[in-house]
Amino acid sequence: MAERKLFGTDGIRGLANAYPLDVETAVKTGKAAAKIFRREESRPVFVIARDTRSSGVVLEAAISAGLCAMGAEVRLIGVMPTPAAAVAAKMIDADAGIVITASHNPPEDNGIKFFSNKGVKLPDEKELEIERLILEDPLDTSHITGAAVGKIVCEDFKPQFSEFIALTTERDSLKDMKVALDCANGAASPVAGDIFKNLASDVIVVNDAPSGTNINKDCGAMYPENSSKFVAESEADIGFTFDGDADRLITLDENGSVVDGDITIFLLALYYKSKGWLKNDTVVVTQYTNLAVDAELKKLGISAVRVANGDRYVIEEMLKNDYSLGGEKSGHIILGNYNTTGDGILAAVHFARMVKESGKPLSELAGQIELFPQVIDKVEVSEKRPFGEISGFSELKQRAESRLGDNGRFYVRYSGTQNVCRIMVEGPDRQMLEEINEEAKKVIAAGA
């Protein structure tokens, strides 16, 4: 596969108004997408959603201009969660969906990601095709004039998305349950509270007042510990924190304690199996998922299939083998019976229903599994050099694997969206894990 220059693991992402998130490149991105999806006899149709970053309005205008200049029709659904764009693309039979978001990144960043008309992130080959056009094609639009120019339609998709989620469960499924939500001042803000209020008797929402510059700022799924006091003092049965585009969630129990993302996946797998919804008795996870999850699920007749890190790879595996549940430790949960991408609000509704039906507090349910100690860290890098080229890395890896033996793992990878290297060390001795992690950070920081 050709080397990517613009697209990372989750679309194009970077500092807003700096290449490749500048206006000129955004216009080209719109033109390139329209050219690829253009049909012989009719206009290509695109759905565009965005998160709450102030730069999103500018990028929305630029991408829309590029699409229309190439003759496409644009349906703007405004500030909505990423999964809403996937649902909208399927619901209105658009050619593709576009989301302007940098997800969990800080407010000054932004990004562009694409979905097919099946609501699935585009395959690598299609993204590379768009990238090639942006970089190499003149993208001439002089032949598209007058009535051939595209049009922009603004639509309120909130009622349809709310109804989509409501139809996946019974209307009173969360009755008499108290739920606390942290919307990260992001894309969940306009919809999450209303969705839960229609299903639960008591809902408390915080961080649902986006300013354009406060998305993910000390709140939401990136800082779930900041919601601990709020959840506990509100006497909620459960708390959920979303990230900037609401495609992931982190859960808190009734005491305000953060529930590890691996435990969330584990409990949903048990619930799905008990309901007969877990296709092939299999859940799809990633390399970051704690080994205890595999071991405990195996005892209960459930297989865990591991794929590369990234929700797109989880989804690909689920679609390929018709699995119904997958997820990442970071909070991406894919409920394949309903959606084809990570959906924080949908997953929160189903997880809350699981807790309510159990009749037990979440803290007790979470105690069913004890995770192996893990240290997960990151180190900033100036360039993403192959690990084999970093001085001392091979020796470091050898020492780490020798110390951990068969009871642990040492795993490193570069982020697909930021200039950081992510480190994961797992094993029975936490002090040893900390030592290996610190050594890894020093070696990688010095050489990358």
Task: Read off the pLDDT of residues 41-96 as tens digits, 9 standing for 90 and up.
Answer: 679 999 999 999 999 999 999 999 999 999 999 999 999 999 999 999 999 989 99
pLDDT score at 41: 62
pLDDT at residue 40 in the model: 57
In 73-168, which residue ranges form alpha helices assigned H by DSSP?
Answer: 82-91, 124-136, 158-166
Q: What are the angstrom distances between the C-alpha of 13 and each of 20, 70, 100, 312?
A: 8, 23, 9, 16
- Render pLDDT for 338-359 as a digit per residue (tens, 0 to 9): 999 999 999 999 999 999 999 9
- Can you tell me the mean pLDDT for 366-382? 95
User: Residue 315 above 60 pLDDT?
Assistant: yes
Q: Which conformational region is residue 235 in: left (phi greater than 0), alpha (psi within -120 to 50 degrees), or beta? A: left
The answer to whether residue 1 scores a pLDDT higher than 80 is no
Which CATH number applies to 12-155: 3.20.20.70, 3.30.365.10, 3.40.120.10, 2.60.120.620? 3.40.120.10
Q: Superfamily for 160-367?
A: Alpha-D-Glucose-1,6-Bisphosphate, subunit A, domain 3 (3.40.120.10)
Mean pLDDT of 137-164: 96
DSSP strand pairing (420-426 vs 374-380): antiparallel
Please provide the average confidence, as pLDDT, over all residues in the chain: 95
Is the per-residue pLDDT at 282 higher than 90? yes
Contact (Cβ atoms closer than 8 angstroms) between residue 175 and residue 201? yes
Checking if the pLDDT of 97 tops 80, the result is yes
Whether 12-155 shares its CATH topology with 160-367 is answered yes
Q: Which of 192, 185, 191, 216 is nearest to 102 (CA)?
A: 216
Q: Active-site residue 64, yes or no?
A: no
Query: Does 228 have pLDDT greater than 70?
Result: yes
Would you say 326 and 314 are in contact if contact means Cβ atoms under 8 Å apart?
yes
- Residue 251, strand partner residues: 240, 259
User: Is residue 247 a known part of a binding site?
Assistant: yes
pLDDT, position 39: 66
Q: Read off the pTM.
A: 0.91
Residue 29 to residue 22: CA distance in whole angstroms = 11
Mean pLDDT of 128-136: 97
Domain boundaries 374-446, corresponding CATH code: 3.30.310.50
41 to 38, 147, 148, 385, 414: CA distances (angstroms): 9, 14, 12, 47, 43
How far, in Å, CA of 318 to CA of 336, rounded? Answer: 7
Give the percent of the chain with pLDDT over 70: 99
For residue 6, give the nearest of 24, 23, 25 by alpha carbon: 25
**Rounded CA separation 374/329 (Å):** 12
382 is annotated as contributing to ligand binding: no
Q: How confident is the model at residue 392 (pLDDT cuts 50, 70, 90)?
A: very high
Provide the pLDDT confidence category of residue 310 given band limits of 50, 70 and 90. confident
* Residue 212 pLDDT greater than 90, yes or no: yes
Two structure tokens written together for 151? 């049009």
- Does 2 have pLDDT greater than 80? no
Q: Does 140 appear as a known binding residue?
A: no
Edge-to-edge strand list for the sheet holding 238-242:
200-206, 174-182, 238-242, 249-252, 258-259
Q: Is 299 helix (H, G, I), strand (E, B) or coil?
A: helix
Q: What pLDDT score does 50 carry?
A: 99
Residue 309: pLDDT above 90? no
Domain parsing of the chain, residue ranges: 12-155, 160-367, 374-446
The answer, yes or no, to whether residue 19 has pLDDT greater than 60, is yes
> Which of 64, 103, 227, 330 is the catalytic position?
103
CB 31 within 8 A of CB 132: no
